[in-house]
Structure formats: structure tokens, C-alpha cells
């Protein structure tokens, strides 16, 4: 029997993939059961089509937790898309080093490095949403359709818009604290399966048993 989560395509169609099983870039880390759906392009080409300006010279990481849902066209934009604001010009001279007699060792001076993108567990990223460099998104958050996320998103918070702003919290603080402590996404398959009725119906007390 195939171990749950170890296949590429979790359904009969080829529009959704378990990302962990198609990622090759050593600087991209994806947790179990996280899936990407794409009905326009090949979802197995997520690294090429959705993770942008992610060049090895920057040593940046994209970390995505378990049980995340990533909708068609969502993008993760890294540091090299930036043009440094320290310069008096917006033109990225260092990336055309040979044209200007500059040292290639300083190519990263062309942009401001804002660091890794970290996505928690059980995060839902909507259609064509854009996650910018350096952003951290907490567990259970929801990113609205075509939102542009430029700042960190707290756990279990719904954001939307350009730039993305908080719309509301998903649950009260006590429920959020309990879910953060339970970390059900780290449970073994059998335990999660047993508690699916509790998870799917919002039965927090049942989840705690």
C-alpha cells in the first residue's frame, strides 16, 4: 500500500500535487500533505513558475509547513526582485557587472536582502496571492485571493488586499492558544484520521480528548 502523502498526485486528476514530492531545490522545504493546485500550468513545475527570483547566491529559504493549501498562481517573490534603496539610482548596476567594470563578487549589492519566507502549518494561500521576501505567516492563517503580503501574518488570521491587511481573526484567543499547543498537524496519520470529525466540524473539545 502507498504510504499516505508519499505520492505526487493525491487525486485522479493531475492538477493538484503534494509539493514535498516534486521539490528538488535544497533551499525549499515543504511539509507533509501540503498541496498546490494549478489548472493553468503543470503543478509539478512549482519551483520554476511560482518561486521567483530565488537564486542560490542569496542562500534564502522557502519553508512551508504541513497541511497547507496553495491555490493556482500563488507566487513567492524573493530578494533578487528588489532594487536596493541605499543607492541614489534604482538601476541595478551590479547585475550588469561586466558592462560597468564592477566586481561580480558584489552582485548582491544590487538588492536589499530581507531573508527567508516562512509559512506555518495549515495555511491557506488563495488564488494568485503574492508572498514577498522575508514574510513569516503563522499557523492556520488565510491569505485572500490576489493579496500581496508584505508583512508578517499572525497565526489564525485572515488577511487580504494590496498590501494585505488583517480582516479578522479566525477564532478567539483561547481557541488559537489551544490549537497552537495541540499542533495536530504533527500527529501520526492514524490519530489525525481518528479525529477528522472533530477537525472538520470545529469540535475543539473532541480534538483535545
Q: Supply the DSSP string of 142-202, one letter for each residue.
A: EE-TT-EE-S-B-TTEEEETTTTEEEEESS-HHHHHHHHHH-GGGS-HHHHHHTHHHHHHT
| 3 state DSSP class of 62 | strand
Q: Give the Cα separation of 179 and 51 in Å (integer).
A: 29
Return the C-alpha cell found at 74: 500563488
136 is catalytic: no
Start-to-end Cα distance in the chain: 29
Which candidate in 59, 83, 106, 195 is catalytic? Answer: 83
Return the C-alpha cell found at 48: 520554476
Q: CA dist 43 to 34, 40, 156, Å? A: 13, 9, 26
**Looking at the annotation, which residues are catalytic?**
83
Amino acid at each position: 500500500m502507498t504510504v499516505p502523502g508519499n505520492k505526487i498526485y493525491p487525486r485522479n486528476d493531475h492538477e493538484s500535487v503534494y509539493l514535498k514530492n516534486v521539490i528538488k531545490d535544497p533551499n525549499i522545504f515543504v511539509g507533509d500533505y501540503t498541496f498546490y493546485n494549478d489548472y493553468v500550468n503543470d503543478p509539478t513545475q512549482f519551483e520554476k513558475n511560482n518561486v521567483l527570483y530565488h537564486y542560490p547566491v542569496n542562500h534564502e529559504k522557502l519553508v512551508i509547513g504541513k497541511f497547507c493549501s496553495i491555490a493556482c498562481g500563488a507566487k513567492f517573490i524573493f530578494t533578487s526582485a528588489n532594487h536596493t534603496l541605499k543607492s541614489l539610482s534604482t538601476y541595478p548596476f551590479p547585475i550588469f557587472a561586466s558592462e560597468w567594470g564592477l566586481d561580480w563578487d558584489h552582485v548582491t549589492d544590487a538588492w536589499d536582502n530581507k531573508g527567508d519566507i516562512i509559512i506555518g502549518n495549515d495555511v491557506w494561500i488563495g488564488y494568485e496571492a503574492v508572498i514577498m521576501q522575508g514574510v513569516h505567516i503563522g499557523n492556520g492563517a488565510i491569505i485572500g485571493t490576489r493579496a500581496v503580503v508584505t508583512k508578517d501574518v499572525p497565526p489564525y488570521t485572515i488577511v487580504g488586499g494590496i498590501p494585505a491587511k488583517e480582516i479578522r481573526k479566525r477564532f478567539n484567543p483561547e481557541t488559537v492558544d489551544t490549537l497552537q499547543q495541540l499542533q495536530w498537524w504533527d500527529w501520526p496519520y492514524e490519530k489525525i484520521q481518528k479525529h477528522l470529525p472533530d477537525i472538520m466540524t470545529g469540535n475543539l473539545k473532541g480534538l483535545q480528548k
